[in-house]
Structure 1
């Protein structure tokens, strides 16, 4: 509490009527990436106490829905749902509240901390994966995604998962994050559904060569790069990873 009372963003949030200092994180992230635009439908996962809901409503002016296990005090023009974002039945409640697809899904949720950093990181990744699954089921094509993740051994693996579903994906730390914090935000822009998934095996005609020198084939206009391949050859490949609008395939023997 003593630290919070001395914190610039904490004091500023109190003065400006925001429910949490994290409101300024969303403002700063949105100023840089323009994830939320006027009229967007926004879904906020793990939304209590409502600081991000306040900012999302200010920016969008459109439909804003917040979900959390805890109750959220009313906010004008915002719909709130008391539910578990990891539960499959919550998806239907979200769809009903949105009345369609979301333009943006945001999540500033954090797990209950144990003090064991390995465990806390793993819990953070699990929670972030739940948020990503909700985004995959809820976002319109071209929509945006923002989620908080604790840094750790599997952070880059999670970032790769996000890259498999968005045209652009990167990590970012806003100025309003505390310097000692291990939190990082993952930003996904341009949601899409690739025509292939990791583990798929397919026969692929190599039709071109990328900048790296690897040959590539295409499935519905989606490029799949295969090391050591050359145009005109047909190869059998297994999809190993998907990121930022393309995939990497390994030749099957």
Structure 2
């Protein structure tokens, strides 16, 4: 069967709408994307292979697929016909989901055969998905996007790293050998009021279990070593987690 492969045949046998379903399964196995009860938004979701996998993995959670193309009905999945770059579509998704635990994008451009153009369009779609994820994700949430290898991918990764605890780039086994696609998995959406490198003055309000001073910045916890309760100190933020940050004294 020319043009067919084991994942295509497997998808047909197991009832998945696309071979891409196995890519998401493998990405989940790599990075533990889904938990039971999660809310998931899939951008560019047609024909629905990723929606099927997400629905299986989150059980009673919420799964919403968005695409300009019609997506045939799936049990336990809601679909929205629209363009996520459109504010009205985003409002519909936010109204339905509130905050998402996971935002997915397997979007790819209409291929022209000119790689530099296709790669640039792929990067544009990945950036749009990233910007949408920043609007939708709950603190600590995860984001997955596809992009073609090439120019400016490193810049996108750097931008993602500034917003998440860490970012991994990988190619699942289900990707075709000849494909230039890679997947960027961003874990732990950061919503802190501080960033690594920030310098600020804080008041130490108490001591943590490890003995570090504890300060608050807009209600967000910052751990400060070698600081006593009641002390006002200048600090530099070194590392930011979803719910707290580590700082060093800068005074």
Instruction: Indicate whether the TM-score tops 0.5.
Output: yes
Query: Contact 2:195–2:240 (CA<8 Å) still a contact in 1?
Result: no
Q: Which residue in 1 is equivalent to 2:178? A: 180
Aligned residue in 2 for 1:211: none
- The answer for the alignment partner of 1:164 in structure 2 is 162
* Residue number in structure 1 paired with 2:75: 76
Partner Cα separation in structure 2 for residue 203 and residue 161 of structure 1? 21
Are positions 1:120 and 2:128 aligned together? Answer: no
- CA drift of 1:96 comes to 2.0
8 Å CA contact 1:163–1:244 kept in 2: the answer is: no
Once the 2 structures are TM-superposed, how far is the Cα of residue 193 of structure 1 from its aligned partner? 2.4
Which residue of structure 2 aligns with residue 92 of structure 1? 91
Distance, in Å, in 2 between the alignment partners of 1:13 and 1:129 is 29
Q: What RMSD in Å do the two structures reach over aligned CA positions?
A: 3.0
Deviates more, 1:107-116 or 1:53-62: 107-116
Q: 1:243 to 1:154 in 2, by over 3 A?
A: farther
How far off is 1:112 after superposition? Answer: 1.1
Mapping for residues 45-64 of structure 1, pairs under 5 Å: 45-61=43-59, 62-64=61-63
Shift of 1:29: 0.7
The residue that corresponds to 1:140 in the other structure is: 138
**1:1-253 to 2 correspondence within 5 Å?**
2-3=2-3, 5=4, 7-61=5-59, 62-98=61-97, 100-195=98-193
Q: How many residues align?
A: 219
The separation in 2 between residues aligned to 1:221 and 1:30, in whole angstroms, is: 30
SS in 2 for 1:91: helix
TM-score by length of 1: 0.77
| 1:87, distance to aligned residue in structure 2 (A) | 1.5
Q: Name the CA distance, whole Å, in 1 between partners of 2:112 and 2:150.
A: 15
Tell me the residue number matched to 2:208: none
Q: Deviations over 1:202-228 (max 9, x none)?
A: 7657xxxxxxxxxxxxx76679xxxxx
Runs of at least 4 residues of structure 1 off by over 2 A?
Answer: 193-198, 202-205, 219-223, 242-246
Following TM superposition, by how much is the alpha carbon of 1:244 offset from its aligned partner in structure 2, in angstroms? 8.4
84-93 or 61-70, which deviates more = 84-93
Of 84-93 and 52-61, deviating more is 84-93
Give, in whole Å, the separation in 2 of the partners of 1:8 and 1:37: 28
The alignment partner of 2:102 has SS state of strand
The answer to whether the Cα contact below 8 Å between 2:42 and 2:104 also exists between their aligned partners in 1 is yes
TM-score (norm 2): 0.78
Distance in 2 between residues matched to 1:193 and 1:53, nearest whole Å? 27
Q: Indicate conservation of the 8 Å contact 1:165/1:194, yes or no.
A: no
> Structure 1 residue 161: deviation in Å?
1.1
Residues 167 and 192 in structure 1, CA contact (< 8 A), matched pair in contact too: yes
Does structure 2 conserve the Cα–Cα contact (< 8 Å) formed by 1:168 and 1:244? no
